[in-house]
Structure 1
């Protein structure tokens, strides 16, 4: 079987629902870097991010029949799967205990590796213009999107950290996402 060169989103979804492995390879080849960048920003360590990203693609493969194109784009759905998987991973007891038990030099070395790797992925994510799109938001909305989608905080955690009512955080995140949708539609 020859690899797929380009495929429209609706056709990709259809092929994935039919369990077409070439479509899955296409999905991995075209989206893994962006999803890995999201996971790495939340998880912070390559060894953990590698494990999480494998689970993300298994979840995508297993749950593609539940994807509803009426509710959003495939990319957004996959980003949410990656984000939730990363958050679940860092909140797991095993990971929290392992991080507590690391020696200081290990943490320093991992942080240096993390900074290099994040810079490389920022270049790739900037290729699709996400950084520029987010910069188009109001500063307070940009902060909320950064905390929720790049740092992995829940809405309640954001409310606690920023000392804002939970309802305000939810409303502002929703407004920011709606504004992002407007901005992204201008790029089409």
Structure 2
């Protein structure tokens, strides 16, 4: 991801809230390809990821006035919107595509090159291990961990989404993370 200190996401979001379309364009030019990568990793389909990105930027435009820099960074707020939209697309039955080796190579060519190829391969291997470990968790634990870390939900929000007691949600997250640590060790 690009360095964020030379670019003021918060100011650009404030400009969007004032109706400055150029600010939205600058945000898209700065973060669009990275946000597309986030969506693509979740939905696993290029066309769906592009739709998610479009919807997310429409949401960023219409909700820019609700952004509050005291609650977090503008850049993180944008990434949260994309993650949320992508997860919504998956939950809504968006098509999931298995990626074969040729498609994986094509996707790797579209992502900006990592400075250290050994590190990039290690990250890819770790993501595969993480996916395998997540699939071993029972459904409530897995959903709680994903809601918390991909969707950025609070414990209360997760409890509301799942219709489960708050204490259960906290326990599921704690046990789920412990299981993931053990699996990844």
**Closer/same/farther in 2, CA of residues 117 and 36 from structure 1, 3 Å limit:** farther
Q: What's the offset of the Cα at 1:123?
A: 2.8
Q: What's the TM-score, normalizing by structure 2?
A: 0.58
Equivalent residue, structure 2, for 1:157:
143
Give me the whole-angstrom Cα distance separating, in 2, the residues matched to 1:32 and 1:41. 14
Other-structure match for 1:50: 50
RMSD of aligned residue pairs (Cα, Å): 3.8
Alignment of 1:63-74 (within 5 A): 63-74=63-74
Instruction: Tell me the equivalent position of 2:92.
Output: 92
Q: Which residue of 2 aligns with 1:33?
A: 33
Q: Which has the higher contact order (CA 8 A, sep 6+)?
A: 1
Deviation per CA, 1:99-148: give whole Å up to 9, x if none.
Answer: 5xxxxxxx56x645641354245436x57xxx89xx8xxx9xx959x97x
Could you say which residue in structure 1 is the equivalent of 2:21? 21
Match of 2:162 in 1: none
SS of corresponding position for 1:123:
coil
Structure 1 gaps, min length 5: 1-5, 100-106, 148-152, 175-188
Unaligned ranges ≥5, structure 2: 1-5, 147-167, 178-185
**Aligned-pair CA distance for 1:26:** 0.3
Q: Residues 67, 90 of structure 1: CA spacing in aligned structure 2 closer, same or farther, 3 A cutoff? A: same
CA contact (8 A) 1:159 1:166 kept: no
